[in-house]
Amino acid sequence: MADAENIRRRIEVRLGQGEFLAGMLHVAARGSAQAQENYIDRLCSIAAAVRTILEANGLIGHIPYRPGAYWQELKGSSVAFLDGGVANIDLPSAAPIGIRVGSYIVRPGEADPETREQFNIELALVDDLYSNEGFLYDDDFADVAKLRDAARIVSETSAAWHLANRADAPDHILLHGPLINPVSPYGLDDFPGYELDACRSFLGDLSWNGGTEDRQFVGLYLEVLKRLKASGRSVVGVVERSIGKDPVVTRYLLHQLLDQSAVRKSDATEIIANLALYGLNDASLFDVVLQEGEYVGPVSVMRQGPENKWPDRWKAWIRDYPHALTTYLKPSELSAPFRVEAFDDIRDHRRALELILHTSRLLPSYGFPVGLDIVDKFAKVPEWMSRGVRGQHQVVLLQKALASGDPRALTFAKRVLATKGRDWFFRPSA
């Protein structure tokens, strides 16, 4: 076990970097003299205590960085990176959507450049978000942002399922973002269901004939996740920035140790209370707790949040959602750790982490799997394309308004033409 004073000195060095400076400024802005005075000292104590507990219980693993040997071992394997892009189309008179999920598949060590790297669009949807004749949803819903988020989430997971279901499925599939998303925000009573054709497209199953609840987001997303998990493929989600305030993984790890009587309840309670007091989430804490090449856990986490916040009609469905085997990996000393999620029955978890570590260090001064950055740029819908769609919509709208002969329709069309993106109608700029 590392000496406590050495841990403390290393943590003190880290406190002057990255998110901790922002955290200090945040505490100072709150005007608490006592918190300002004790911030550094208490934070060192928290991080050192967490490090000591995790080390004592074998909950810190290490992956050596050995690029020469590793890439030779990976020769003959295939790795797929997945990410989705959403068109930036914001119109006050309609809710068109454009989503495409791209894949970047690499075969390390392959000599032929034609087969070494492949770029594909695994899934693409272009339609109205809600329309009785539309492809995505069969009813109206006021919160268009939620509809877009739901469509993006299920599209990306569906693309991963399509890849995993192929005869030549990649050995590893890395998804940019969480593998399992919270679903309760999309379980509202008036949230529309997908049309049958959309569901069949997502599932890649033309014979699927689910009922009304099966076609709602909560039901459909669960079905896609179950199929993806049952594929047995190595599928992981890599979350670049964890912005939530709740130290979910730390809490789960401490609760797991409490169940095993491996930590005192008073110690665990004090750590959780201090994390809340100083506004530290998992990423901030593990940034100083972990050293280069280390990871914490992993621990099985229910990503759906507390049950008392679930919509009543969906509680039985949400209980059936798979847990996410979650860890934080710190690829290098100067890079922040990121969250890695997998299904809790993954057979080659350490191999997946080894892949993520080595792809995170392919470029100097970079600390994230470079393949995910590549596919992010590939799948992103360019702004010029979104502008073209908006312009075409405005032209058609004006033509219809002129043809109607209704002065009110013409006035509305003029307002649409004068509106820029998210700006309120004729709102003065600063």
Whether residue 61 is predicted with pLDDT greater than 90 in this model: the reply is yes
Strand pairing report for 338-343 and 324-330: antiparallel
Q: Enter the tokens of residue 227.
A: 């199929």
Query: What's the start-to-end Cα distance of the chain, in Å?
Result: 57
Domain ranges across the chain: 1-56+247-280, 60-244+290-381, 384-418
| Among 75, 80, 110, 63, CA closest to 171 | 80
Question: How large is the average pLDDT for residues 10-18?
Answer: 61
| Among 89, 44, 176, CA closest to 390 | 89
| Among 336, 277, 287, CA closest to 47 | 287
Q: What is the pLDDT of residues 226-258, one digit of tens each?
A: 999 999 999 999 998 777 788 999 999 999 999
Tell me the whole-structure pTM to 2 decimals.
Answer: 0.83
Contact in structure between 310 and 273 (CB atoms under 8 Å): no
Query: How far is it, in rounded angstroms, from Cα 353 to Cα 306?
Result: 28
Query: How far is it, in rounded angstroms, from Cα 383 to Cα 421?
Result: 12
Q: pLDDT at position 260, please?
A: 94
Q: pLDDT at position 383, please?
A: 61
Those residues with Cβ within 8 angstroms of residue 88's Cβ, 6 or more apart along the chain or in another chain: 381, 383, 386
Q: Give the phi and the psi of residue 127 in degrees, each rounded to 5.
A: -170, -175
Q: pLDDT at position 390, please?
A: 60
pLDDT band of residue 421 (cuts 50, 70, 90) is: very low
Question: How large is the average pLDDT for residues 32-48?
Answer: 68
pLDDT band of residue 189 (cuts 50, 70, 90) is: confident
Contact in structure between 327 and 356 (CB atoms under 8 Å): no
In one-letter notation, the amino acid at residue 125 is L
Residue identified by tokens 């060095």 is 13
In one-letter notation, the amino acid at residue 378 is F
DSSP assignment, residue 184? G
Q: Output the 3-class SS for 289-329.
A: HCCCCEEEEEEEECCCCCHHHCCHHHHHHHHCCCCEEEEEE
| Among 345, 347, 342, 298, CA closest to 324 | 342
Query: How far is it, in rounded angstroms, from Cα 360 to Cα 50?
Result: 26
pLDDT band of residue 389 (cuts 50, 70, 90) is: low
Query: How far is it, in rounded angstroms, from Cα 324 to Cα 179?
Result: 7
Question: How large is the average pLDDT for residues 300-324?
Answer: 93
How distant, in Å, are the alpha carbons of 14, 59, 317, 364, 390 from that of 270? Answer: 22, 19, 35, 39, 54
Please report how many Cα atoms fall inside a 13 Å half-sphere around the Cα of residue 390, on the Cβ side.
19
Q: What CATH architecture is 60-244+290-381?
A: 2-Layer Sandwich (3.30)
Query: How far is it, in rounded angstroms, from Cα 430 to Cα 423?
Result: 12
